[in-house]
Structure 1
Amino acid sequence: MRILIAGASGFIGTALIERLTAEGHEVVRLVRRRAQGPDEASWSPASGIIDFTVMDRVDAVVNLSGASLARLPWTKSYRGEIVDSRVTATRTLADAMRKARQPPAVFLSASAVGYYGDRPGELLTEFSSAGSGFLAEVVQRWEGAATLAPDETRTVVFRTGIVIGHGGAMQRVGTITRLGLSGRLGTGGQHWPWISLHDEVAGIAHLLTSHVSGAVNLSGPTPATADRVMTAMAERMHRPYTFTVPERMLELALGRAADELLLSSQKVRPQRLIDDGFRFEHVTVESALDAMLSAPSARA
């Protein structure tokens, strides 16, 4: 397949391109500068500008655009950037596909488990309702923009949680743990939806050739609490895990991000991915952490 990727230079995009190229696919990167070859195409997502004719030349589009949620604190202006960077970029891609003479057959657009909001005690599948809160509202608008793609384009919004790899939220967790400052966040009993970087990109590659459309959870098959994730990380890095940070302290330090990212509980099950025959390489968060910490960048 010839696949157009937005957000190609990011944490997930870099790993995805490596996998797709190894599988024999041809990748075209969307870049925010002048294109320098046939494997690049220019766009300005903030302005809604893109050469829509590129859509006639690709079989699929993967949208990974969006400002990082791991950048803290979430000031008022940065919350606006979180929304705009997702909704505007996704709408720009969808509009370009609608203008193409022959739209791509597949559109995979990133989304997030933030859709479900804080739901302690519930098992959440793709058939669960939307929750409340800032991220839930962002994700609903984000996914709504993806639905503007042409009817003939199979559209999937993949809801990702914490990706276990060298980037994103785990980069911050790794730094804190390495410094010996790791500890329980609030009660530690809140569920953190996780997935290994390997299974994240494998899941996206699987969805390219699947017949599934609509929402798909990209999360590991075995739920894990925040305490389990943080404890396993500390054990593997041979660092102490002795602190307990009260919820109030986290809220004072990080504001809304504390409630939405660290203290929110989401016991997510990737039901549609499992039903579609996808096989996870890393079934537990411990195996995902082992893979991350044994990767070359971890030993450097």
Structure 2
Amino acid sequence: MRVLIAGASGLIGRELSAQLGVAGHDVVRLVRRDVTGPGEIRWDPAALSLDPTALDGVDAVVNLSGASLARLPWTPGYRKEILNSRVQATHTLVDALRHSQNPPSVLLNGSAVGVYGDRPGQTVDETSTPGTDFLANVVVAWERETERAPDATRVVLLRTGLVLAKGGALKPLLPITRLGVSGPLGAGTQHWPWVSLPDEAAAIVHLLTSTLRGPVNIVGPTPATANDVMSVLARDLNRPFKIPVPAKILTLLLQDAARQLLLADQNVSAKLLQSDGFIFKHETAASAVEWMLRQP
């Protein structure tokens, strides 16, 4: 397949490009700078600009474009960037799809399990209602942009969890763990919907040729709490896991990012993806953390 990727230079985009290449697919990257080769197409999502002819001969579009949620804190200005970067990129791509004479057969659009909000005591799946906090509202607006896609294009919403990789969700927590001052974040019993980076990319490759459409949760198959993840991280780095950080302190320092990323309880089901035949390489958070720490 010829696959056009927005956000190819990001953490997931790089891994996805590598896996697509190994599988024999042809990768084309959307870039915001001057084009330097035949495998690149220029676009300007902030100006809602992409020539529809760029989609000629493209079989699938994967949209991973969006400002990182791991950049902390979420200042008022950065909250706008989190929202606008996602909505504008998706709007631009869908417009190009609508004006293409032969639109690609599939759009795999980035999304996040943050859509569910804080759900203590529940297991949520793709049929669960959205939450009402900032991140949930961002995801709702983000996903809504795909509703204008042409009928000929199958749309999948990649509701991704916390990606375990050195540049991923744990990036802000690695330094304090290495310093030996990590411990439970709040109660530490809140579920974290984790997924390893290789499994995230492999799931996207799988969904290219699946018949699934609409939201699909991309999270690891075995639930894990914040303590499960952080204690394994500390253990594998030969550091103690003893110093708790009260929820009040985290919230004071990071505000919404603490409440919605670190303290939210989200036990998210991966059963839909598994029932479609996807097999995870990392079935537990511990194996994903161990893999992560082996990477250069």
Shorter-chain TM-score: what band? over 0.9
Q: Is the contact between residue 220 and residue 283 of structure 1 (CA under 8 Å) also seen in structure 2?
A: yes
Which letter does structure 2 place at the counterpart of 1:56?
D
Match of 1:225 in 2: 225
Q: Offset of 1:151 from its aligned partner? A: 1.0
Matched, 1:102 2:97: no
Q: Offset of 1:181 from its aligned partner? A: 2.1
Deviations 1:249-272 (A, max 9, x none): 111111111101111010001121
Match of 1:210 in 2: 210
Please report the TM-score for the alignment, with normalisation by the length of structure 2: 0.98
Match of 2:159 in 1: 159
- C-alpha distance in 2 between matches for 1:229 and 1:201: 20
- C-alpha distance in 2 between matches for 1:181 and 1:200: 29
Match of 1:22 in 2: 22
Q: Is the contact between residue 65 and residue 89 of structure 2 (CA under 8 Å) also seen in structure 1?
A: yes
- C-alpha distance in 2 between matches for 1:132 and 1:190: 18
Question: What secondary structure does 2:43 align onto?
Answer: strand
- C-alpha distance in 2 between matches for 1:184 and 1:105: 45
Which letter does structure 2 place at the counterpart of 1:174?
L
Q: Offset of 1:57 from its aligned partner? A: 2.2
Matched, 1:8 2:2: no
- C-alpha distance in 2 between matches for 1:168 and 1:51: 32
Q: Is the contact between residue 115 and residue 131 of structure 1 (CA under 8 Å) also seen in structure 2?
A: yes
Match of 2:193 in 1: 193
Matched, 1:72 2:72: yes
Question: What secondary structure does 2:172 align onto?
Answer: helix
Match of 1:281 in 2: 281
- C-alpha distance in 2 between matches for 1:190 and 1:216: 22
Residue correspondences, number: 296
Which letter does structure 1 place at the counterpart of 2:264?
S
Match of 1:83 in 2: 83
Which letter does structure 1 place at the counterpart of 2:252?
L
Higher mean C-alpha deviation, range 272-281 or range 175-184? 175-184
Task: Please provide the CA RMSD for this pair.
Answer: 0.8
Question: What secondary structure does 1:183 align onto?
Answer: coil
**Gapped runs of 5+ residues in structure 1?**
none
Percent identity, aligned pairs only?
55
Match of 1:266 in 2: 266
Match of 2:35 in 1: 35
- C-alpha distance in 2 between matches for 1:173 and 1:246: 15
- C-alpha distance in 2 between matches for 1:147 and 1:217: 18
Please report the TM-score for the alignment, with normalisation by the length of structure 1: 0.97
Q: Is the contact between residue 183 and residue 242 of structure 2 (CA under 8 Å) also seen in structure 1?
A: yes
Match of 2:184 in 1: 184
Q: Offset of 1:122 from its aligned partner? A: 0.4
Q: Is the contact between residue 70 and residue 171 of structure 2 (CA under 8 Å) also seen in structure 1?
A: no
Q: Offset of 1:131 from its aligned partner? A: 1.2
- C-alpha distance in 2 between matches for 1:51 and 1:240: 54
- C-alpha distance in 2 between matches for 1:55 and 1:97: 8
Q: Offset of 1:33 from its aligned partner? A: 1.1
